[in-house]
Amino acid sequence: MKSSYEQLEMELRPHGVFVTSLEEIYNWGRKNSLWPLQFGLACCAIEMIATAASRFDIARFGAEVFRPSPRQADLMIVAGTVTKKMAPQVVRLYNQMPEPKYVIAMGACAISGGPFKEGYNVLKGIDRYIPVDVSIPGCPPRPEALLEGLIKLQEKIARERLLCNEAARSTTSAQPSEYPVPNYGANDLDPPYNSSVFHPPPIHVGD
């Protein structure tokens, strides 16, 4: 069952008339010029650099303009192990980015701490402090995987609504655009996670 808008589009296209909505063309423009924040934390950053270079060429998706300032960036690619010492700075960078902003957690470490999860110095996933839009598994993910994640994010942006009940996060005041920066504690960060963003799954013991 097609919507009336889609029917109109199908009818008019053969006659050389292009119909669009403001929402659609706005999202189309945004999703095809995502400017990532230029920073890398570990080996995933090397794959991110490879993705940006000529062989994989992230410019094909309009995301080649790596900005050295969070004020000019739309997308934060958390590429690599986030140590507990680095986490407050990552959150602060996220806070400094203007809306609408998106986060890709790239690699096992950025998602959950990865192989260093039980270590004394590694944050168990950046989703503890900031909302993550796309998680890319891998250790490190190949450039194709990063591009796939970027395409998924573009699809997500294309689906975003501007003026209705299920409007995008960036267009409502219900969700904050800044999140509290954690402090350094005696062993861990204080608090260990932001309870408005992250809910640890219940501990379940199998048979």
Instruction: Report the alpha-carbon distance of residue 150 to residue 119 in Å, rounded.
Output: 30
Quick check: 203 binds another protein (CB under 8 A)?
yes
Question: Which DSSP letter does residue 100 get?
Answer: S
What is the smallest separation between the CB atom of 198 and another protein, expressed in angstroms? 10
Instruction: Report the alpha-carbon distance of residue 150 to residue 156 in Å, rounded.
Output: 10
Q: Which of residues 169-188 bind another protein (CB under 8 A)?
A: 184-188
| Strand runs labelled E in the chain | 75-79, 102-106, 134-136, 183-184, 189-190
Q: Which of residues 22-61 bind another protein (CB under 8 A)?
A: none
Tokens 């400094």 found at = 96
Q: Which of residues 66-85 bind another protein (CB under 8 A)?
A: 84-85
What is the smallest separation between the CB atom of 121 and another protein, expressed in angstroms? 7
Quick check: 201 binds another protein (CB under 8 A)?
yes
Number of residues that bind another protein (CB under 8 A): 19
**CB-based contact 51:64 (threshold 8 Å):** no
Helix axis angle for 143-159 and 22-31, nearest 10°, is 160
Beta bridge partners of 83: 122
- Single-letter code of the amino acid located at 134: V
Residue among 124, 126, 134, 160 that touches another protein (CB under 8 A): 124
Quick check: 204 binds another protein (CB under 8 A)?
yes
Q: Which stretch binds another protein (CB under 8 A): 6-14, 24-32, 61-69, 195-203?
A: 195-203
Q: Which stretch binds another protein (CB under 8 A): 6-14, 68-76, 119-127, 135-143?
A: 119-127
Residues near another protein, by CB under 8 A: 84-85, 118-121, 124, 184-188, 192, 200-205
